[in-house]
Structure 1
């Protein structure tokens, strides 16, 4: 299974970071997690392309995670693809219906399926086995843990975890324990006063003792520019003892 970071940015654009988006691929199946502004262009630059992604899994419904959802639908329609499935937390159907109310000429262009999931039981999306848990953010949403279907590990023990937007807390550390890679929101440096997102020290404290191979810091606001190494060091100093890296658009991680 390979993870490609399509968008490591936030709601405040910078030239080198698209908004939230991640591509999972294992050669036979592909899954797009979140679809913010700029993600479609990044996706078009991959071998998979938007033609190869028929399922989108949403962590939550903030604009910087869903802005390119209908552009993806339109691109697939124009490319001759016939199907798109959108999966996400409660409210996903209302979100998609509302978008199509505004852009009604897209309604019915392709076979569109919408499915809402919960954290109470694992599910499949895009051919991957997925477990979810609630996040702590200004909007309800999920973090996800992924396993390829060929894996012996159940979804709750899969090698990859994506946090979505969330504060750092012990429950997320337990959810990610044993993962090869955790991609976690780390939106701001320590000296920015913010809620609903973690800063490096709070993230390192929350993950202290968690068995996670590599932590990728993502969902980065412009405030983090030029301070990536400082933030990585602060996560380690706060107690996390795995590898810490800052996500960049185009980064590929094999799992």
Structure 2
């Protein structure tokens, strides 16, 4: 697994690209979320846009999807093969918008050499929580987390955590979430828990109307430690944060005695 980007929230960061991770499992390369800068980060990691076999979206907030139009349009221009996008309800509407965005480039680039219909570029699967049909050698399980507890979407939008298992190894991505028994159960005994975290500094830097969401629908350092301890994971890798200083790491360690790694862009685990 490679952490391509570890910055949560909208806006640019000096040291971090938007949320995205690359998982190699079952002989395939899986992109988990596609935040801003994902194409550049793939290049840094030695991969092209045509190397990705599937994209898994935890939810469709812009900090997790802003790089997806670039990934898809460059793959289209480079004549990449069909791509499968898997995510919660809301994924299809997002992809329909990206298809509309691709039309202008298709017309212009088509004069340079015919491009296929962008509608043939990717297939979208909106999935329910549970086991996802991922093919031989790979098991993928989704669980609905608590990232949307303050807002009722009537099922039109949902937010997921994912667990990937292959070759005796398990990696769980919390996605964006507040405290969640469903995520705790999903992460039970995982080798690696890639866990979102927001700090007091992150909350203070957010616009005032967003701060209630930050407190209720994300994890504080203490809550990260409690989740990891209750799930009995081996290693926690922090993501979706700006900085993890001694105070934050101490708060996690007070609840969890396993390994804690402050994730950085392009870190390979």
Indicate the residue corresponding to 1:43 in structure 2. 42
TM-score by length of 1: 0.85
Say which SS state the counterpart of residue 160 (structure 1) adopts: strand
1:188 lines up with 2:209 in the alignment = no
Give the deviation of 1:55 after TM superposition: 1.5
Render the CA deviation track for 1:31-56: whole Å, top value 9, x for unaligned.
10100101111011223322211311
Indicate the residue corresponding to 2:104 in structure 1. 105
Indicate the residue corresponding to 1:179 in structure 2. 190
Say which SS state the counterpart of residue 16 (structure 1) adopts: coil
Q: Say which is worse superposed, 89-98 or 118-127, in terms of deviation.
A: 118-127
TM-score by length of 2: 0.81
Give the deviation of 1:145 after TM superposition: 0.4
Render the CA deviation track for 1:153-197: whole Å, top value 9, x for unaligned.
6xxxx5100010001233322221110000011022489462211
Contact kept in structure 1, 2:202 and 2:241, CA below 8 Å: no
Matches of 2:195 and 2:12 in 1, distance apart? 19
Larger Rg: 2
Match of 2:177 among 147, 151, 166: 166
Q: Say which is worse superposed, 63-72 or 46-55, in terms of deviation.
A: 46-55
Matches of 1:16 and 1:54 in 2, distance apart? 27
Matched positions, count: 239
Give the deviation of 1:85 after TM superposition: 1.5
Give the deviation of 1:27 after TM superposition: 8.3
C-alpha root-mean-square deviation of aligned residues, in Å? 2.3
Matches of 1:141 and 1:164 in 2, distance apart? 8
Contact kept in structure 1, 2:28 and 2:53, CA below 8 Å: no
1:58 lines up with 2:57 in the alignment = yes
Matches of 2:237 and 2:231 in 1, distance apart? 14
Contact kept in structure 1, 2:196 and 2:239, CA below 8 Å: yes
Indicate the residue corresponding to 1:243 in structure 2. 259
Matches of 2:136 and 2:200 in 1, distance apart? 34
Give the deviation of 1:96 after TM superposition: 0.6
Contact kept in structure 2, 1:147 and 1:159, CA below 8 Å: yes
1:118 lines up with 2:124 in the alignment = no
C-alpha spacing 1:74/1:205, structure 2 compared with 1 (3 Å) = same
Indicate the residue corresponding to 1:9 in structure 2. 7
Indicate the residue corresponding to 2:229 in structure 1. 208
C-alpha spacing 1:44/1:247, structure 2 compared with 1 (3 Å) = same
Q: Which has the higher helix share?
A: 2
Contact kept in structure 2, 1:190 and 1:200, CA below 8 Å: no
What are the ranges of 5 or more consecutive residues in structure 2 without an aligned counterpart?
107-116, 149-156, 204-210
